[in-house]
Amino acid sequence: MRATTEAIAAITEARTPEDLFGVGAGTSDAVRAAKRAFHRLAFLVHPDRVAHGEKVAAAVAFTRVAELYERWQVRSDGGVRFVGAHGEYALGALHARGAVANVYRSGSATVVKIPRKPNANMLIANERAALADLAALAADHTWLAPYFPRLVDRATHVDSASGQTREVDVLAAMVDGFVPLSAIARAYPDGLDQPDYAWMHRRLLRAVAGAHATGWVHGAIFAENVLIHPELHGVVLVGWSFATRPGGALAATVRSGTYPPEVRAGLAVSPETDVYMVNALMLAMLGDRAPDPIRAFAIGCMQDNPRLRPTAADLLEEYDDLLDRTYGKRRFRPFAMPAHLPDLQPTMKGK
């Protein structure tokens, strides 16, 4: 079972309790989140339910996760605060769990992003550099600002028990009303209607074109890293930890990601890498409901040779023309959300 194998690997690789359960904040929400994580992991690796070939590894993992959880409970009774260059931030409830970092609420205006392992500090540095360049671009082109996370402050966390250092990013909160595109995909397993996804794709293309104007390749354009505000038709591209400059390989990848050929081959990436990924995401979100003209458009943007793919900036006008030809004059289309959207907590790749 894949989930069991991944749980065993996560427990085995964990060096500190925080790697599995986050930095203890001493709040009831944080305690409940850690308890849920422990129960899930313990269930997945319980020797009585795993396949015969995994029983030995599962038994070891089951014992270890219990020990780590006990250590986490001891550490989490005092709360954690970070002192940054511009303020002090209390750690609140877990908001999202990404591939390399956890995001916690910190009051109503900010969230803090902490890598689960110190060796991911370099990825946090990547994100800081990318977000700084994006903020500089948005200062001159204010219409771009809503498409990106905003870096508010930075801090350093030193684990009192292990002495390990983790770099911490403080970001402006984007909590109320936003949901991850991955949760919307689970709510619409047969795919979205193209007119519903059209405004999401248009705004995502704008975000990607803006990133390329700053000389960054995002490299992790997955549903988990796209936040949607259904009511306001808002789109925010998050998960900038894996971002890199064109001409080099991606800083990191995730096993479950859909990547273009150059990434799978470990070759240099370019802005056209993101073009492939954003269109692959569109096809995944539409599924079998993708109209033929839209599918042909996306496939044309996903050619194996990056040099044959269009730029994101060029696609802005081309996509609008395609929509006009296919659907006629554009109008505001309210996005109908299901009454109960599953799994609202984002789990971000490349984060």
| Each residue's pLDDT tens digit, 276-330 | 999 999 999 999 999 999 999 999 999 999 999 999 999 999 999 999 888 877 7
- pLDDT at position 132: 96
User: Is the pLDDT reported for residue 1 higher than 60?
Assistant: no
User: So what's the pLDDT on residue 342?
Assistant: 45
pTM of the predicted structure, to 2 decimals: 0.77
Would the pLDDT of 189 be above 70? yes
Confidence of residue 263 (pLDDT cuts 50, 70, 90): very high
* Comma-separated ranges of CATH 1.10.510.10 domains in the chain: 179-327
What pLDDT was estimated at residue 165? 86
Residue 345 is predicted with a pLDDT of 43
* Length in residues, the chain: 351
Contact assessment for residue 109 and residue 171, using Cβ atoms and an 8 Å cutoff: no
Domain boundaries 179-327, corresponding CATH code: 1.10.510.10
User: What is the residue-wise DSSP string for 273-331?
Assistant: HHHHHHHHHHHHHHGGG--HHHHHHHHHT--SSGGGSPPHHHHHHHHHHHHHHHH-S--
Token look-up 């692959």 returns 280
pLDDT at site 153: 95
Look at residue 106 in the predicted model and tell me its pLDDT: 87
How high is the mean pLDDT of the chain?
Answer: 87
**Predicted local distance difference test score (pLDDT) of residue 344:** 41
Q: What is the pLDDT of residues 121-133, one digit of tens each?
A: 999 999 999 999 9
**What is the Cα–Cα distance from 146 to 136, expressed in whole angstroms?**
13
Q: Where in the chain is the domain with CATH 1.10.287?
A: 1-76
Give the CB-side neighbour count of residue 148, counting CA atoms within 13 A: 30
Q: Which CATH architecture has domain 1-76?
A: Orthogonal Bundle (1.10)
Overall average pLDDT of the 184-204 stretch: 92
Write the pLDDT tens digit of every residue in 46-87: 988 888 888 889 899 998 998 888 777 655 544 577 888 899
Task: Please give the average per-residue pLDDT across 105-134, as a whole number.
Answer: 91
